[in-house]
Structure 1
């Protein structure tokens, strides 16, 4: 389906579900990027690679929200998600953002075998009570993508706040999505609620404190055997140490900052080995 027809299709679906006056729409820029409009804001996508600590190969790109007001003031994603006042508006905004990111990833030609990591906002999880992931699966199918190409990130804080989280997790998994536990403080003791739903990835936030052996060993004793670890906020100098610790993946502004393109880290050569 041509890009313009896709945009018209999604905008029509938003109007059908949320009403003709829903303050949300997808638009195409002259540069053939996709942006979204919501509550007077312009929403855009930035992508940050997630790389293997041993080879430097890119395994995924996390899509990050960029929001700009009419005054050109930048807003944080947290500020944007404070705007909706009703549950339906939260669901609309969260789906709009993920559709925006999926469209831009499609235009930028996400390489075969790489995952697209998308955040699910906690307010979305509390607002949707059943059939989680069904609507977004239909969006992906329209784009020629599948849930198997997506890893949904759920924050550690949200896990403790959403009473029906296990139902949401089961619904997502039944549709083929992979799941990541996000924003985990490295010094925090593993919480049973964090691990009960068997995340595929555990994203340890190195920005929250130093990664030491006692903290890591506590996780080693508890995490699911097939879960992979991602060190968020990593630097190039840390990569060999992280690999030695058995942490498979890394992500960080010093490795590769978020940008409008799908990139490989410039810290690695074409063979995937770390440049000295």
Structure 2
């Protein structure tokens, strides 16, 4: 790498930091943003080092990639591996939950722009304690998307409705996000704590079944048959069912037989960085074709 190229990259990162400072309403002395040798953006915030991974979501009927779920890969102080749940808890206990969420979402958007797919959707998880802060927190994220030319209709916000106690809060938050142009996915549907009646309370664009659904369907033939009914019900509601957690060929066969066409799981593709997606998945025929 020449000195000139190195200087240009350094200037680019400085400019990004300045742009993010304005968009995030955050003192970026706390944020270490850098572009790694892989071309990925990484950051460090409150001692948590953050990397982004994307898991492809496939359209079985079209035999193509439908979108990507963005996942954070945190490590404490750059050395100790951590989990997203612990990282969020640590941020909340530090009084930096909102800022932490803004940092990693911005990083996801920056890395998503490196994926050469004009129409693919970006699936993002929403922390339940931040779901209700649409007026302030949601609009800040909207500014970030606008800044980096990712329209809100390409962003699917994944909502774990079971973690929202009151129906009216869930309904209000979803209606407000949809008014801003986001698509909505109910996540972990069919899990232990999900409330199926809520599927009738508000509009949603996707229903992502809990991973336990496909795993149990592979163990019990009666549940595999029942899955067809669940898929049909979701489709009758005008939503798109997504079967996640597919890890075996048997589970894939059951998912396809259920009538669902949008599928996700490690058998199809494990979470990887954007560069790997560009190198390996752009012209690769998916296993569901």
Normalised by the shorter chain, which TM-score bucket? 0.7 to 0.9
Aligned length, in residue pairs: 270
Paired residue for 1:244? 257
In 2, Cα distance between equivalents of 1:64 and 1:37 = 16
Cα offsets for 1:11-56 (capped at 9, x unmatched): 3544xx34576x3443322433211211111101000000012343
> How has the CA–CA distance of structure 1 residues 219 and 50 changed in structure 2, closer, same or farther, with 3 Å as cutoff?
closer
Paired residue for 2:15? 5
In 1, Cα distance between equivalents of 2:13 and 2:146 = 14
> How has the CA–CA distance of structure 1 residues 131 and 66 changed in structure 2, closer, same or farther, with 3 Å as cutoff?
same
Structure 1 length-normalised TM: 0.83
Q: How does 1:1-276 map to 2 (within 5 A)?
A: 4-14=14-24, 17-19=25-27, 23-70=30-77, 72-85=79-92, 89-106=96-113, 108-126=114-132, 128=133, 130=135, 133-160=138-165, 164-185=169-190, 191-207=196-212, 209-211=215-217, 212=223, 213-214=225-226, 216-218=228-230, 220-221=232-233, 225-235=237-247, 237=249, 238-261=251-274, 263=277, 270=284, 274=288
Asked if 2 retains the 8 angstrom alpha-carbon contact of 1:186 and 1:210, the reply is: no
> How has the CA–CA distance of structure 1 residues 176 and 11 changed in structure 2, closer, same or farther, with 3 Å as cutoff?
same
Structure 2 length-normalised TM: 0.80
In 2, Cα distance between equivalents of 1:38 and 1:190 = 35
For the residue of structure 1 that corresponds to 2:96, the secondary structure is: helix
In 2, Cα distance between equivalents of 1:86 and 1:40 = 13
Contiguous gaps of at least 5 residues in structure 2: 1-10, 218-222
Contiguous gaps of at least 5 residues in structure 1: none
In 2, Cα distance between equivalents of 1:9 and 1:37 = 17
In 2, Cα distance between equivalents of 1:55 and 1:235 = 21
> How has the CA–CA distance of structure 1 residues 188 and 243 changed in structure 2, closer, same or farther, with 3 Å as cutoff?
farther
Asked if 1 retains the 8 angstrom alpha-carbon contact of 2:23 and 2:144, the reply is: no
Cα offsets for 1:145-194 (capped at 9, x unmatched): 11011111111323446752222211211111101111223688852224
User: Higher helix share goes to which structure?
Assistant: 2
Note the aligned Cα RMSD (angstroms).
3.2
For the residue of structure 1 that corresponds to 2:185, the secondary structure is: strand
